[in-house]
Structure 1
Amino acid sequence: MASPAPILYWFDFVCPFCYVAQQRNAIFGRRGLDVVHLPFQIHPEIPVEGVDAGLRTGPMYATLEREAARVGLPLNWPTRLPNTRTALAAAEWVRRRQPDLSGDFNQRLYAAHFALNEDLGDIAVIERQANEVGVDLSALRAALADGTASASLVEAESLGAQFGVRATPSWLVAGNLISGLLPPSEFERLAEEAVARG
């Protein structure tokens, strides 16, 4: 039987649904499915200096808090929302150039935002997280400075647009676009179908 096609996954570090979706991707991983993490800036309107986040109250936020707690992810709502363009460009560059470090780098950027309340719009935060996982900092800095990393991000977003991505998190599973944080049981079903299709 042929190996299942990789699952394409579009995310943004500022998206709390994507933060919780790390557990949904783990479901695919446990089934031996390859998940390709592709950045997609969902709020390009946020200025480079970021914006105040405002209050996080209501049923949606309560649900996210329960989901995060259930899967062991600390969730301390950030006081500000950053412009994630540079962080996403860095993530895509790392995925392409040092793929073995990509997963850890992404996890650290999520944690910086949602657990530590650090500003992902600050290049120093991005570089510190990159350094912690062993990313070649001089090469990353060069790619961010010369536009190489940004161009890679544009390619990832363009691919998403071709498949109809308009929100994060979004997955392309066996040719079907799935958007939103569906229950874990639904991801178990999707994983089973993807494995069965081969």
Structure 2
Amino acid sequence: MPFDDFSPDGSEVTAPVPHWYDFVCPFCYIGQDRSRILAERGFTLLTIPLPIHMEIPLEGAAAGPREGPMYEFLEREARAAGLPLHWPARLPNSLYALTAAEWVRRHEPGAFPSLHAGLFDAHFVRGEDLGDQAVVEGHAVASGVDKQAMRAAMSTSGPARDVQRSGGFAERFGVTGTPAWLVGSRLVSGLRPRSEFEEFRAA
């Protein structure tokens, strides 16, 4: 489903839940657990990209030290969610990965869940470079994507426009960062406690 046709119901949660993410965001990596909770409660998620670190150069950048309360919080939450977390030494520019994933979501949706999880694992578990086209294509092929079709599409301007429109869609609902979920009329921003997601029930 393209998000263009999304129209929330003001009284009941009947529409898909838009969920914005970026592959380099550790809160989004753990946010996979929050999305799983919503899915278990009967929600359909509309998982769409929101690039948040476009200041990272195309060749990537060295990551600084991961110390202090925020990183301790993330490590605790990752353990609670059963997600391995190995801080990568470098931060990639994630735009190519986000654009490819959004193309797959729109055009080969059956492969999207595997690719989405696989690219998160590539960064936060394996330390692979998501700015490397070959890395992204490798995970796409492993998820069952037609590499030639994806490569041909990525040589056009269409997929990039879709990511830009996703940013406009986020702005429409007041989303300024990731992760974020729009559950009915309620915007849930950031990695909120699991208990908050467990309170939701689909109509």
**TM-score between both structures, scaled by the size of structure 2:** 0.92
State the 1:4 CA deviation. 2.0
Higher helix share: 1
Candidates 125, 128, 144, aligned match of 1:118: 128
Q: Give ranges in structure 1 of 5+ residues lacking alignment.
A: none
Map 1:1-198 onto structure 2 (within 5 A). Answer: 4-189=14-199, 191-192=200-201, 195=202, 198=203
State the 1:3 CA deviation. 7.1
State the 1:84 CA deviation. 0.5
Contact 2:27–2:191, Cα closer than 8 Å, also in 1: yes
* 1:10-63 superposed Cα distances (whole Å, 9 cap, x missing partner): 000000000001010001111110011010001111110111111000011011
Contact 2:13–2:183, Cα closer than 8 Å, also in 1: no
- How many positions carry a matched residue from both structures? 192
* 1:63-84 superposed Cα distances (whole Å, 9 cap, x missing partner): 1111111111110001111110
Tell me, what secondary structure is at the counterpart of 2:155?
helix
- In 2, Cα distance between the equivalents of 1:163 and 1:146? 28
Please identify, of 152-161 and 124-133, the stretch whose mean Cα deviation from structure 2 is larger. 152-161
Q: Which stretches of structure 1, 4 residues or longer, exceed 2 Å deviation after superposition?
A: none
- In 2, Cα distance between the equivalents of 1:144 and 1:56? 34
> What's the % identity of the aligned pairs?
48
- In 2, Cα distance between the equivalents of 1:41 and 1:188? 27
- In 2, Cα distance between the equivalents of 1:96 and 1:147? 15
RMSD after superposition: 1.1
Contact 2:78–2:85, Cα closer than 8 Å, also in 1: yes
